[in-house]
Structure 1
Amino acid sequence: MTEKESFYKLKEEVLSRYQESYPYFVGNWKNFSSQDILNLIDEIFEETKQTVSEKWIYTHLKPENNEKLPRKDMLDILCKYVHKISWDEYRFNQLAPVYVNESFTENSSRSLSSKQGSSSNKKKTIILLVGLAIIISVYFFVFNDKNTETKLEFKNVYTNEKLSNDEVKVFKIEDTTQSNIILSDSKIKVTKPTKIVVTSPLFKSKEIAIEPTNTEAVIDLYPNDYAMMLNAFMKSDIKDWKTRKEQLEKILSDDVEVLIMLKNNLGVEYFNKEEFSQKLIVPTPSIKKMKIIELKSNPDQKISFLRIGNE
């Protein structure tokens, strides 16, 4: 089996693994929707603590025929998602039956034993090499980490308040891949030159090139004013429906699309501007539990798209 054939097989297993979490999806990569892609990105992150981009999925998983293989580190992520150790282990398990079949063509039990012994030795060699690579990686990580590092703290530029994982997401950029970095006490630690992207439905995105300098630095993020207004609006106890309606008219685009995610993967509710405004006019306990997950604005800075979950 060629590497490309192995990749096609892996794509099928990724799809099967996705259907375990979303059994109502019936189809193949060709009819894999944009919502399915977002679901898969979340699934992969939950399973591997690493991320893939929408562009990468469109480039490598959606096509029926692939001109070339993705990078090995991305193949490793997919393998971990389907509960395999790595791409090397996945390929090895696929090629193992071929080695056994070849040994039988020798028509000799002695030849079969020799082939199996060779395969066993090869597997042991791979395990030893992988173990050595892990030891070397840990060594360099530990010692480099002590030599040079920078701690970055994220704050609201106006209030000087620290920001948490619920408010911002930080990604490390390597080539075309993004790896999520978890904030600890509103901070992250960078040990080598890298580029990070900070995203948030409530704050303006920011891309930063980092050079470790054995210092601590504060990254100030500017709030998205309309997003903050809407968030406060949903959490407030204002009962003046006329005031609420006027505020919503100001911050929402006329063609705004609102998606409210239902609990227990029951689906999504769609609202236009009028329907969403009507829902928010009277404050209720359910509205106060709403949480802005994704927000987009038009050139006039009015909110043009909202994805909302529940706390």
Structure 2
Amino acid sequence: MAPLSLGILILVYFIIPKQNTFSFCFIDQDRNRPITKIPIDIIILNNEESPFFSKSDSTGCFTWKTKDDFIRFVVQSPYHKTDTIYRIASSDRREDVHIKTDDYALMLHYYANGKVNDWKNRRKELSRIIANDATIFQILPQRLGIEMYAKDEFINKLTTPTQSLKNIEIIESRRLNGQIVKLKFRIKS
């Protein structure tokens, strides 16, 4: 009787599809806080099916159950840069995913809608995030050199909706005690 029971258990284990649970919370990379004000649009990409659309919840998190051993999805938000995430099932714990702010879209929104207080708050926020003695430099095109920025100059660059802001790409940033102390960027052409 015992070998039959053991055989049935083994058979059931292999017949019943195993589900993997993926759980993610989205964190604003600049603020280092959950993105909760606007839901993140999530597009789950499947190899054999059409994409599935979902949104993050009020806590900025998202959970997905699947029989697959991996998940691939795109995250989109009006004020964050679109990114594609790929993870392999490794544990059932929640993972924080840092999403880059789209400063151009955010500043354009503030300018177009006359949100002067929001614009001023963003400037104050950047001032808190960036250390007073931060080393900030732009890598110039065709390896022509670098251009150094003072903190206030860089904040002005990040809070004026110009074409160059739209094309800024952060290459490297280092933090110390929660503040950016080194920032290297370029303007994509």
TM-score range for the pair, normalised by the shorter chain length: 0.3 to 0.5
Q: Which has the higher helix share?
A: 1
TM-score by length of 2: 0.45
TM-score by length of 1: 0.29
Structure with higher Rg: it is 1
Higher-RCO chain (CA-CA 8 Å, sequence separation at least 6): 2
Q: Which has the higher strand share?
A: 2
